[in-house]
Amino acid sequence: AQKITQTQPGMFVQEKEAVTLDCTYDTSDQSYGLFWYKQPSSGEMIFLIYQGSYDEQNATEGRYSLNFQKARKSANLVISASQLGDSAMYFCAMRIQGAQKLVFGQGTRLTINP
């Protein structure tokens, strides 16, 4: 079975600082994908970034990057130059090859202070 662990229930960061949200995963499958979603207070889930297990380079999307350390089974999200609008819940999720469902972590609530 797959499992996603997010050990930071809450994070507080000053605006313009970089922030790292931790995610570790557990699977015996070799082919899988890792996803990060943002959930603002409005409730919708917004896709941020994806990393495939065979991708050799870390994924980047604008201010978001994924620090993928396969041997340690970690997929941390890095947000550079944080903004007030980054305040939200952040979920790490995994999907293994052949399965369709996403398995989510418990989430991290990020608060950006002005």
Partner 1 sequence: GAGVSQSPSNKVTEKGKDVELRCDPISGHTALYWYRQSLGQGLEFLIYFQGNSAPDKSGLPSDRFSAERTGGSVSTLTIQRTQQEDSAVYLCASSLVGTSVYNEQFFGPGTRLTVL
- Binding residues (CB under 8 A) for partner 1: these are 31-33, 35, 37, 42-45, 47, 50, 52-53, 91, 93, 95-97, 100-107
Nearest to 21 by CA among 36, 34, 42: 36
Q: Is 105:2 a contact under the CB 8 Å cutoff?
A: no
CB of 19 to partner 1, least distance (A): 21
**Minimum CB distance to partner 1 smaller for 82 or for 96:** 96
**Minimum CB distance to partner 1 smaller for 5 or for 74:** 5
Say how far residue 105 (Cα) sits from the centre of its chain: 9
**Minimum CB distance to partner 1 smaller for 10 or for 52:** 52
CB of 47 to partner 1, least distance (A): 5
| Residue 15: both structure tokens together | 């605006």
**Minimum CB distance to partner 1 smaller for 54 or for 113:** 54
Nearest to 10 by CA among 79, 111, 81, 114: 111
- For residue 48, the surrounding DSSP H or E stretch is strand 46-52
